[in-house]
Structure 1
């Protein structure tokens, strides 16, 4: 669908057609404004600034701030975070299995005897009969599992009344393989106790046969339940991110649990199958390697207060530790320039003027602004996080990667919010990496993925309702003609342009029946281009006139969208063309161009993430999301801990 803004003269006609479809009600007016001003794509982003909506709620919530609706006290609030509550486990109801008819005995036939370890894969009437006999041992058995797992367990064994993990009177080799994989869960950042199953001891030559059969059938059910939990956790993660906050938006990954058990009942490659349920990408593997390395390493003896703030002339007992850490990491060039200075002041607690050039130099080497002020970002860059903090960041990153597709795709665009960067990756090579500005803590950028749709040159900015209500409306009540003078257009519910000064802005609260857009210009909030990937969060990548923001180390400064330091380079990359072509397009005013290839874009949030060489880098948790995810994981662990 082409942009409707290309010719202003067609707007009334389009608006009239739209009104026949949607009606001229106030409720439909905003939908019309989105179609007219939102970049020409239904449900397209509305601007740089709106925060993403709650997944299961209205797009924005009107929050009274005291006073009446017409007094101007109404605000449109951002999405919120929720206290994560895991669903309780349920007791598996084995009554349906007991009611399943036994197998019919077939006519005798001559068959080649099955190998002992293949018996589970070649069900026979004899093993069926043994399984039906064993079902009685489930009477009174209290096995707890997630509701969908409990349902799948009963459904599978009702349709397939046979053992998977038991051959004869013992746990078979496939069971041993499965138990080993479950016991290695920690190497994936998972908790082995969540999948713990006690394996029956090897069968003795004598003993109570009924008791043994009872023990085996209970082991069979427990192992199947924990294998299903493991597969689901490996594929999708332990927590549902969409239940944590309205800032998260991930599609459900379907999982045929009965199919999982059916596959395991017909393959001898149990380990291979279970390990294949994890994400199969280089980033996941690099994080696993980092986790293993961290778990095997010793704690760093030098630990500097991560909240240290020290300016020249001030003193702190943390300074000598920081200087020692800097001295231990000096290369030949830095050592030649500053080694003597560091040695002279190594034990002093006062931040003397002689040390300022040293700090500035190491800050710049770490990619920071060399201002000489020692703060949390400097400490993090020069000292790094503690071993415990790094382990937690890696475990959180592994969990978050399970929310994404196993194959991240190539080419792709990857935005990592805590790193304040956006990258274009193709065929395993990072062909473009640019600094980015993301949402402020009060206007956070969402975490989701989508597909690049188009590039908009010299874009209009459709002002979202949140910005119009929260930021513009107070001024418009004092100065109704402000929009007319500032390069904006106002359109009523019929698509007709009207003067801003003619609107009684004081008569509206959170629901304003007018659309507002900023015309293309050097002052336009979106700069010279924007890159669209239609999503309900109204987020996209774009240029900005505020170039100075890219010089800052902490770049959580926007209203929610992602501003790029090199928007032309990113536009050229996704369009598969050159920067010169982009420059030429910009000479001809407003236009759009579709992205014809499939290019996924990840608006991601990882405080631990590997570079293209597999080296894991660590970043500050700017939105405190790691803490919230850990709370959700803890909630899940608490529910699972009493499970039998």
Structure 2
């Protein structure tokens, strides 16, 4: 992979002192600007130093900052590079199915018509003045299929057949998959009817046929692709389309001997989806939390709170294995106390450590969330949203694979059914969010260069370069022109550029490099990748949204060894040899995912905070879909 391809990727911000001593740098994702857009918000002062005050600025000498002829000309105003935003979701509108295309099918006479075929043709007149609304692609699929196949799928003789009964039952069970059964409701014609009014019976049967086919197609599409198109939620969502042959689906159902099996097979077929579905069933059957703790509690050792006895009861109930003889005696004395005694601190720290939290003894929202959980309603919603998001991913997640769950701040390497490696990660801060997408890992770069993205060049570097054009030369950066030639930063009149700068800038490999000692690439338009970082201390935080988009790994060598199918000694030797790249020889999908409910390696579903408020946006999108599919929406569409 060439340097030019990746020169603009970079989740990390610079951080170097003016005199040349390197500070730790934090990573920034390459926003879409170089691949169709881009975003960067103002970084904190600790990541990229602001321009120095005039009275303290080191005055560059003539060699480091030559005088430009046009220095007297006013500099161009800087046009900040912006990036992904959240959209107002627009659901697919419903369209009235145009049955006039079926008239020719009714007039065509088959050489050897079956009784069902004749019945279908005779019943077609019952579609006159029938108002059936469906999504546009589904409406078209109905007329396309029945024009080419003028026969019933769901009717045999004068009644709904067994295939129809199975389909209606599956549609009625949609809630168990996190879907809304009301969106697939179909009224089945009653079994009893009068032979004296066969015309009315035929009308009811043909309308039932079309309605059930329309709702089955909606169900299949929702089961495979989700009710919501994620790419309409925000620029941070990026998923390829999942092709679905709707006409082919009706053909398959017409020929299938097991309607239930076919419809259920349209849902994701992986262990994670099954675990989430089982969790939903369990939650629906469960009682509300018996012990409810204030989710905003902040209790430090020595403090007092009426919530403390509740927390101690939860520890006794759910973490009894941590309570030895010593703590049994302490809890017997203090289990109803509202004073957070120092004797309780080691026990709280042990529980925090078990739960993967920073064991500092401070009981805050993260500790409360892990100990007490959220309300039953909140957990149900998180699971329903997770089931929806699962439909955006491939049904078969692949093996081996890397799975990053942003709200959990973790990355896992999974091979077969085993989680071989799991580590803490740092993701983008809310102002510079890590996108939600999947890709395929291609290579590992050792002692990497950091190609500074245009977003940082324009938004962060350019203001400083105008007052100190030579500071890049002094601070371990290279400036390269459009011909690939390295040129001094001090030789450029930076004031003439206000938008995209026609130079590439990269930070050379070093201990201060924003990417640390290695990066793992899966080329994508967001230029997000996994990498090391000099800022190791941030991994000790419970909430780890500090980067500018890329994913920083606590154990980058371990992840590199895993994806390369090698060992740590090999990685160490490559690092010792200097700057180089190594291709990944296997197909390894990587999921840069966002799930606030997700099963761990044992299948137990865990819950996480909505770091970017994406659950809220997804819930709003689902609400828009439900509103568009409601009967009143169909009436409005008809009126229009």
TM-score, reference length from structure 1 = 0.87
Q: Given the superposition, is the C-alpha separation of residues 303 and 70 from structure 1 closer, same or farther in structure 2, using an over 3 Å criterion?
A: farther
Q: Distance in 2 between matches of 1:69 and 1:462?
A: 29
Deviation at residue 352 of structure 1 after TM alignment = 4.1
User: Does 2:250 correspond to 1:261?
Assistant: yes
Tell me the residue number matched to 2:284. Answer: 295
* Alignment partner, residue 477 of structure 2: 488
Residue 531 (structure 1) aligned to one of 516, 520, 527 = 520
Secondary structure, aligned partner of 1:450: strand
Paired residues for 1:415-434 under 5 Å: 415-434=404-423
Find 2:268's aligned residue among 275, 279, 300: 279
State whether residues 97 and 157 of structure 1, in contact with CA within 8 Å, keep that contact through their aligned partners in structure 2.
Answer: yes
Equivalent of residue 53 in structure 1, options 19, 32, 40: 32
1:509 Cα offset (Å): 2.0
Contact 1:423 1:432 in 2 (8 A): yes
Conserved in 2, the CA contact under 8 Å of 1:194 and 1:640? yes
- Out of 158-167 and 335-344, give the one that drifted further: 335-344
Helix, strand or coil for the counterpart of 2:395? coil
Q: Is residue 568 from structure 1 mapped to residue 537 from structure 2 by the alignment? A: no
**Residue in 1 that maps onto 2:460:** 471
1:48–1:538 Cα contact (<8 Å) kept: no
Compared CA separation, residues 537 and 156, structure 1 to 2 (3 A): same
Ranges in structure 1 where 5+ consecutive residues have no aligned partner: 5-32, 40-46, 108-123
Q: 2:92 aligns with which of 87, 96, 110?
A: 87
- Matched-pair contact (CA < 8 Å) for 1:106–1:125: no
Report the equivalent of 2:58: none
- In the alignment, what sits opposite 2:105? 100
Rate the CA distance shift 1:69–1:410 in 2: closer, same or farther, 3 A.
Answer: farther
Aligned residue for 1:442, secondary structure, equals: helix
Q: Whole-Å Cα distance in 2 between the matches of residues 452 and 531 of structure 1? A: 7
Q: Deviations over 1:513-559 (max 9, x none)?
A: 11100001111111111111010001001111111111111111111
CA distance in 1, matches of 2:318, 2:443: 45
Offset of residue 63 of structure 1: 10
Give the secondary-structure state (helix, strand or coil) at the position aligned to 1:76: coil
Q: Distance in 2 between matches of 1:69 and 1:344?
A: 75
SS of aligned partner of 1:106: coil
CA distance in 1 between counterparts of 2:77 and 2:315 reads: 54
Q: Where do 1:506-525 residues align within 5 Å? A: 506-525=495-514
Alignment partner of 1:336 is 2:325: yes
What corresponds to 1:597 in structure 2?
Answer: 586
Q: Tell me the residue number matched to 2:429.
A: 440
Q: How far did residue 69 of structure 1 move?
A: 10
Please name the residue that 2:51 is paired with. Answer: none
Q: Which residue of 2 aligns with 1:363?
A: 352
1:542-596 C-alpha deviation (Å, 9 max, x unpaired):
1111111111111111111111111111111111111111111111111111111
Preserved contact between residue 242 and residue 249 of structure 1 (Cα < 8 Å):
yes
Check the 8 A contact 2:530/2:553 in 1, yes or no. Answer: yes
Query: Deviation of residue 38 (structure 1)?
Result: 5.9
Contact 2:78 2:458 in 1 (8 A): no
Cα–Cα, structure 1 residues 385 and 579, in superposed 2: closer, same or farther, change >3 Å?
same
Does 2:192 correspond to 1:226? no
List per-residue Cα deviations over 1:2-53 (Å, max 9, x = no partner): x45xxxxxxxxxxxxxxxxxxxxxxxxxxxx5566669xxxxxxx9413543
Cα pair 1:69 1:508 within 8 Å, conserved: no
- In the TM superposition, what is the alpha-carbon distance from 1:61 to its structure 2 partner? 6.4
CA distance in 1, matches of 2:105, 2:459: 63
Q: Shift of residue 361 of structure 1?
A: 2.8
Q: Label 1:140 to 1:595 Cα distance change in 2 as closer, same or farther (>3 A).
A: same
In structure 1, how many angstroms separate the alpha carbons of the residues matched to 2:305 and 2:496? 57
Helix, strand or coil for the counterpart of 1:90? Answer: strand
From 610, 631, 638, give the equivalent of 2:620.
631
CA contact (8 A) 1:456 1:529 kept: yes
2:159–2:191: 8 Å Cα contact kept in structure 1?
yes
Tell me which residue corresponds to 1:373. 362
Stretches of structure 2 that go unaligned for 5 or more consecutive residues are 11-25, 43-72, 635-640
Q: Does 1:77 align with 2:82?
A: yes
CA RMSD of aligned residues (A): 2.3
User: Which is further off, 622-631 or 472-481?
Assistant: 472-481
Aligned-partner Cα distance in 2 for 1:207–1:61: 71
Whether 1:210 and 2:199 are equivalent positions in the alignment is yes
* Secondary structure of residue in 1 paired with 2:102: helix
> 1:69/1:132 Cα in 2 relative to 1: closer, same or farther (>3 Å)?
farther
Q: Match of 2:55? A: none
Provide the rounded CA distance (Å) in 2 between the counterparts of 1:308 and 1:38. Answer: 40
| Count of equivalent residues | 588
Aligned counterparts of 1:307 and 1:69: Cα–Cα separation in 2: 52
Q: Structure 2: how far apart are the matches of 1:536 and 1:388?
A: 37
Partner secondary structure for residue 247 of structure 1: coil
Q: 1:440 to 1:325 in 2, by over 3 A?
A: same
Partners of 2:611 and 2:340 in 1: CA distance: 28
Change (3 A) 1:601 1:128: same
Give the Å deviation of 1:611: 1.6
Q: Deviations over 1:191-213 (max 9, x none)?
A: 11010001111033534111111
In structure 2, the CA distance between the partners of 1:585 and 1:105, relative to structure 1 (3 Å rule), is closer
The yes-or-no answer on 1:177 pairing with 2:150 is no
Does the 8 A contact of 1:320 with 1:347 survive in 2? yes
> Contact (CA 8 Å) 1:410, 1:425: kept in 2 or not?
yes
Distance 1:604 1:476, change over 3 A: same
